Amino acid sequence: MMKKAFIFDIDDTIYDQQQAFQQAFENQNIQDSEKIDGSQLYKLVREYGDESFQDGFEQSKLRSMQIHRIQRALRDYKITIDDNQALAFQSDFEKFQEEIQLFPEVEQLFDTLTDRKITVGIITNGTKEKQTLKIKKLKLNQWISPENMLISEEVGVSKPNIRIFKMLEEKLTIRKENLYYIGDNFLNDIAGAQSAEWKTVWANYRDHQTTDETVIPDYVVESPRALLQTVKKLAAGMK
């Protein structure tokens, strides 16, 4: 059997980041917040945050991006918050993310892949400090070698830039047609990995819409359970 590798995004792919978001938002007592669909607000915040870093991750702009994305999302609901309240929300969001846990199905999947001696890796956007903390909280070192984890700030390039995918490809020395990238973000994860000619599995748990009709994921899964089933089949050489 040809060597394969399965490379994962972290946030909202292998654990549920929206839960921490919802807790942080409810903690702020924002006026008229009862009118807001929390799931839709979370989608907007992710969207506006991604737009801020389309040209790459910059630590110096991180706080301004965090303020902008929640303020911009709330403006869609005609709700205004000041910078201090936006930062208070961000502080709570980060605090609640300290309680994150892997989806049970992902833990089972990692066990299966490593038992079969199949390479597992991570490519994630974000700061070295925060993403390293998530890696520790999720205990990813049980399954993934540190050299197979790339954090955008640490390597100086962010998804969807093809270079971050090529960096890991060169380390793995596995043919690109046998590299699979699994992520929830259509632009950063699916379009980015396909630009490197990797196979893609779109973890579309929240019914996001495609943002580029020319990009077609190789596989789409709508739940962690479906992700487990699909990747197990791919690992076994099944379609």
Tokens coding 171: 């380390």
Write down the pLDDT at residue 30.
Answer: 85
The CA distance from 215 to 24, in Å, is 34
Q: What pLDDT score does 204 carry?
A: 96
For residue 160, whether the previous peptide bond is cis, meaning omega lies within 30 degrees of 0, is yes
pLDDT score recorded for residue 208: 86
- pLDDT number for residue 172: 95
> Which residue carries 């903390």 as its tokens?
133
DSSP structural state of residue 15: B
Under 8 Å between Cβ of 10 and 120: no
Q: State whether the Cα torsion 153-159-163-169 is positive or negative.
A: positive
Question: What pLDDT is stored for residue 58 in this prediction?
Answer: 63
Distances (CA, A) of 64 to 17, 55, 158, 170, 213: 21, 15, 18, 34, 31
Mean pLDDT by 10 residues, the chain (239 residues): 90 94 90 86 88 63 89 94 94 91 98 97 94 96 98 94 97 94 96 97 92 92 98 86
Say which residues have a Cβ less than 8 Å from residue 226's Cβ, sequence separation at least 6: none
SS3 205: coil
- Note the pLDDT of residue 29: 84
Identify the bridge partners of residue 8 per DSSP, sorted by sequence position.
122, 182
Q: Where are the domains of the chain?
A: 5-15+101-235, 17-99
- pTM equals 0.89
pLDDT of residue 33: 81
Is domain 5-15+101-235 classified as CATH 2.40.100.10?
no
